[in-house]
Amino acid sequence: MSALTTTTEPSPAAIARPVYRVTGRRVIASEWAKLWSLRSTWITLGLGLLFLVAFGLIAASRYKSGIGSGHMDRDFASSTAVSLSLFGTNFAQLALGVLGVLVTAGEYSTGMIRSTLAAVPRRLPVLWAKAAVFGLVALAIATFGVFVAFLVGSHIVSGTPAAMGFSHSGVVRSLLGAGLYLGLVGVIGTALGALLRSVAGGISVLVAALMLIPGLVSLLPSSWQDNISPYLPSNAGESMFALTHDSTSLSPASGLLVFLGWTALALAGAAYRLMRSDV
């Protein structure tokens, strides 16, 4: 007699699944994919780039027309090709900062943050990855925008007192400083979104820090303004890309250190709340 033998195939549940380790590289790759999957990313980055280039060219064209007509506005009288090309920085910082808030606070509003933190239980790598990914994207977009604005704007104002080229002292430093400033604004927006966990709250604090508080400080006595104003986030950031400096403003290196301090403070607050409170 022959023995009948049967073999059974293992069930799908019995097949061992590969174990994936949570690494910094994989967390960054995940955040990169999530960033570009949102329609708001493309729209807001496009607006930031448009603000940089369009307002820079509008300012350069207005300066050129004022020179030609002989009726120059006082605000444009001492302008240079650099200051004209960076005219849109104040508008671009809002677009990039708001998108930074959406990168983190948006996940809290939709509840997706629970899935994110379940995949990365240590939590802090999520914050570092979000800040690094969006900060580098904002830096690249902003740097590209300011160089395009300067290239076209310097051509518009050629032959005028504002004309400058890359060979002029401080020009490249100013353009790179503007790109770095806007990249760090994006990081601060990301940190505020994680700290406040509210899109409206994060945007409100961002706008207040960059635009409203400097206006309120200007109402203080002059002696107070001189001691406080240079260290405000927006003024310290502006000194990073200003072509000239006086006794009331910080040097580019000092402005960078102060603005890095504000960025680190925002990230530290976001990290503390992320570790100490529930989702």
For the chain, give every domain's residue range. 22-276
Query: Are 30 and 129 a contacting pair, CB within 8 Å?
Result: yes
Distance CA(47)–CA(71), nearest Å, equals 32
Torsion of CA 191, 181, 39, 209, to 10 degrees: 50
- Nearest alpha carbon to residue 142 among 45, 56, 210: 45
Q: What's the predicted TM-score (pTM) here?
A: 0.88
* CA dist 147 → 66, 85, 224, 242 (Å): 24, 8, 36, 15
Please identify which residue in the block is written with the tokens 């403070």.
265
Mean pLDDT, rounded, of the chain: 88
Quickly count: other Cβ atoms within 10 Å of residue 220's Cβ: 13
Q: Average pLDDT across each block of 10 residues of the chain; the chain has 279 residues. List them in order.
A: 51 53 84 90 94 94 79 73 92 95 92 87 91 96 96 90 88 96 97 95 94 87 85 93 84 95 97 84
User: Given this model, what pLDDT does residue 14 score?
Assistant: 45
- What pLDDT, on the 0 to 100 scale, is given for residue 20? 59
Kindly state the helix (H) or strand (E) to which residue 27 belongs, with its residue range.
Answer: helix 24-37
Please count the helices (runs of H) and the strands (runs of E) in the chain.
12, 0
